[in-house]
Structure 1
């Protein structure tokens, strides 16, 4: 198994925990533009 190189300047998909809205952004948007819920990077595993 190999590690995947992540480019911090590359746009990533972010998903809202509350409503499920997905947006693509270079930086964490912080809150959802639709409902103001918390956003998470979909490339980061949830444990």
Structure 2
């Protein structure tokens, strides 16, 4: 999956580490809109 090219204008799903909320956005959100925790890009697998 690391060789997948993403276009910057593409909307990407981000998931909150804490509450699991999902936000679809073009840029990574600074914090979860519900609980203010860190967000992760769901298209990049966790290792």
Gaps of 5+ in 2: none
Calculate the TM-score normalised by the size of structure 2. Answer: 0.85
Matched pairs, number: 45
Distance 1:6 1:36 in 2: 26
Gaps of 5+ in 1: none
Structure number, greater radius of gyration: 1
Runs of 4+ aligned residues of structure 1 deviating over 4 Å after TM superposition are none
